[in-house]
Structure 1
Amino acid sequence: MQHVCTRILSGLSSSGDSHDSRDYQLDSIEALDMLEKKLKVAEGHLEVGRLFAYYQVPKPVHFFLSAHLDEKNVKQIIRLLLSKFGRRQPVRSDNEWTNMWRDLKHIQEKAFPFLDSEFMLAEFIRGLLKAGKFSLARNYLGGTSAVSLSTEKAENLVVQAAREYFFSASTLSCNEIWKARECLNLLPNSISVQAETDIIDALTVRLPYLGVTILPVQFRQVKDPMEVIRMVITSQTGAYLHFEEIIDVAKLLGLRSEEYQRMRERRTLPVRGCVLI
């Protein structure tokens, strides 16, 4: 341990500290204070090094000395740590995730004080959502005693996670659809979140009722929601008889009011069982 600390102190001294080792005079209170600070930093780095090894992202001691020079890389490592933890089997318990948050705060304090606390919380919540820990994620979305997320950032996290689940769904009834809904249910009063919920309802409930099946991966390729409406209208004879249902689908897909108003105006022009649009 003494040998490791000596190496760390040497590195700290040569990486930006203007004081040379010869300036440390043990009979000086100032020198002793500085030495104590160096030792605390070294101890913190060792603690974080052990945590990194535990979470399967081992790093050499000298990594922490220059970490502040590459914040982007450090953020990638934090994301990797959370990703590995979330994928470990058996599935991590809520208590283990709570301990993970405690360790993340310790990692930030001891090794990466330059990282924003909001970033740490956002990445932790992202990990919870990807791991399907929705109830626990709800607690942290409201913030902690030390840090909270902006409304916009919280909404973005939920929407992104829901989309990942939804667009990975191989059928309209698989578990990923349920997970997408669970994500969105975390912020039921959000307008942007409700828009995502509407799309899921349109694809999984309303369109099948009208005889049209579009898988999430197919919908992802749709650039204009009006394409879906045209598909509904041309898919079966007499589709215009379900005009109000089609209007509802248009609304759920986010078509503007003037667009489905034009649909209403053209409703009276049936041709071969369809409506001209």
Structure 2
Amino acid sequence: MNPAENPMDFLKKLLVAVLVWELVRFVIARIALVVLPKRDDEDEETARVRFEAPKQYTGAVHALVLLRAVVALDEAADMYYIRGAGIGMDDGTRDLLELTNWLFLGYLVQDTTHIVRNFPRMGKADMLAHHCVFMVASILSGASQTMMLPFCWLLLGEASTPLLTLRWTIQSAAYSLESEKVVKVAKAFGFKGERVSSPKNAGKQLEFFAGLMLVFTFFLARVVTYSLGYTHMLWVRHKGIIDAVPASVALPLNVLVGAGAGLNAHWFGIMIRKAIKGPPKPKEA
């Protein structure tokens, strides 16, 4: 993955990776049409849910694929592999990382394209900043074949994405579609009385507890793991362990990862403020 070395080859591989995720998105959009078929008299909220579903579920699929790849990696491999030195990871591990990086970058480009085309309906400035930061980090890491440990723990942050999709699903089913299925699910989880008196009330309870799961997972993946990884990156830089990594790669990656930490802190603060409010009180149906 080196755009400077062979620009056409880079663009071809990037296009393939983008098309992979566009295909996933297309399939999910077809499924959304089956689940929520278009009607002449449909309301705006139903149309909005169908419009947003491909982005939400493509993100969840992307996260699960990347997490599976990262788990398969040999964590005992050289943490800061230097291609020129010919040491570190074996060919299989390096190829898996390369494929994972292409899928990661392809998804970011594909999702960013849709965000820009539909701004701000599919994401706001903070999401665009997040994607841009990690697109650059992905290219730097892939082009130099260095800093692979940071790349791995960055991807672990995707563990929170499926829970974001779960929360969106609950919100859409309860508030936009007002589906009675939400009430059935809430009752199955033990909620009673006024809390399940309507889809909106049931949805509030399910959303709150899904939010707590999200806060916990986000804290472990994007606060604890990310902070430890970033601290370790700074430490090995201070100790000279990555002196062989070109400064044009190491310095920007340190800055970009720091910017990513700031975005994570911003989002975590929003989650904590919502969690502190406690479970919402049901309203009269």
Q: Same fold (TM over 0.5)?
A: no
What is the TM-score when the length of structure 1 is the normalising length? 0.33
> Which is higher, the Rg of structure 1 or of structure 2?
1
